[in-house]
């Protein structure tokens, strides 16, 4: 099926009161597994490539083209998103390559500079019909830079959205990036206040640290796009480790990476059902 716009997927989920899963890709097996899980769940999904993953691969072109090809071969709606880009140049490359959306992260900058640089990126992307997510409030845990206790102010979030023209906003409500345990304490009251103040869909980063029931509750409180990366890496690594431990003579990468891919596909399907379980929603949007 043709690549689906991120805005189309997220807007439909927001109207339905449902969450949409956005899962990060590092290896090609991630992309294949995420799409397989979405097909099993019969749900749309967003494939994300972060700036760190692009750096690992030595550039956006090859891995970006591969992820786009996986998305276009899917039997469910799939979008491709550039995650946590701090470089306008990388954003421009993603737009040229055909990504559905970008997340421009200038959250470490002073507020006025964040507004100025984000607005410039939004203007460029909107000219190309590309949807833009930005961040306000410095979600914790990323490269040791952000304060884990950071919280986004609803009034500032509303002003930032109006000033920049972003299509979605990542907010700090208690999560932290790269958590290996699922015990983050979300501020559900703040999520509700942000949902009431901000006219665009809200994005929850650092969702690997959030328990299933709290993921559902976060969607009920007003979150729409839910980003998950570290948790899937744990699932993949555990399956690969078990395969290698179970057979010390195993050297065929297809066999142990295949085990990891299957495990991730099953977990993606399960998580997509968790995100669609919100009692806030009505009928699920049909693409």
Residue 83 annotated to the active site: yes
Going from the C-alpha of 92 to that of each of 55, 189, 230, the distances in angstroms are 16, 37, 27
Decide if 213 contacts 202 (C-beta within 8 A): no
3-state secondary structure the chain: CCCCCHHHHHHHHHHHCCCEEEEECCCHHHHHHHHHHHHHHCCCEEEEEEHHHHHHHCCHHHHHHHHHHHHHCCCCCEEEEEEEECCHHHHHHHHHHCCCEEEECCCCCCHHHHHHHHHHHHHHHHHCCCEEEEEECCCECCCCCCCCCCCCCHHHHHHHHHHHCCCEEEECCCCECCCCCCCCCCCHHHHHHHHHHCCCCEEECCHHHCCHHHHHHHHHHCEEEEEECHHHHHHHHHHHHHHHHHCCCCCCHHHHHHHHHHHHHHHHHHHHHHHCCCCCCCCCCCC
**Cα dihedral sign, 275-276-279-282:** positive
- 128/117 Cα distance (integer angstroms): 17
Active-site residue, from 16, 83, 105, 167: 83
Active site residues: 83
């Amino acid at each position: 099926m043709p690549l689906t716009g991120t805005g189309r997927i997220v807007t439909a989920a927001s109207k339905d009161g449902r969450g949409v899963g956005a899962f990060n890709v590092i290896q090609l097996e991630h992309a294949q597994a995420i799409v397989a899980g979405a097909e099993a769940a019969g749900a749309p999904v967003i494939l994300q490539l972060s700036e760190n993953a692009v750096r690992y691969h030595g550039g956006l072109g090859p891995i970006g083209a591969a992820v786009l090809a996986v998305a276009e071969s899917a039997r469910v709606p799939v979008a491709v998103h550039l995650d946590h880009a701090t470089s306008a140049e990388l954003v421009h490359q993603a737009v040229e390559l055909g990504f559905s959306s970008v997340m421009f992260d200038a959250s470490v900058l002073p507020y006025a500079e964040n507004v100025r640089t984000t607005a410039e990126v939004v203007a460029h992307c909107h000219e190309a019909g590309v949807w833009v997510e930005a961040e306000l409030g410095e979600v914790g845990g990323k490269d040791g830079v952000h304060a884990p206790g950071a919280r986004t102010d609803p009034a500032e979030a509303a002003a930032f959205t109006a000033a920049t023209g972003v299509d979605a906003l990542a907010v700090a409500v208690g999560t932290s990036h790269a958590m290996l345990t699922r015990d983050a304490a979300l501020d559900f009251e703040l999520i509700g206040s942000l949902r009431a103040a901000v006219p665009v869909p809200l994005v929850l980063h650092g969702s690997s640290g959030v328990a299933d029931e709290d993921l559902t509750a976060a969607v009920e409180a007003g979150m729409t796009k839910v980003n998950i990366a570290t948790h899937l890496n744990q699932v993949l690594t555990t399956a690969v480790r078990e395969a290698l431990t179970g057979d010390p003579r195993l050297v065929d990468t297809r066999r142990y990476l295949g085990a990891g891919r299957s495990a991730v596909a099953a977990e993606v399907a399960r998580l997509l059902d968790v995100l669609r379980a919100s009692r806030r929603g009505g009928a699920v949007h049909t693409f």
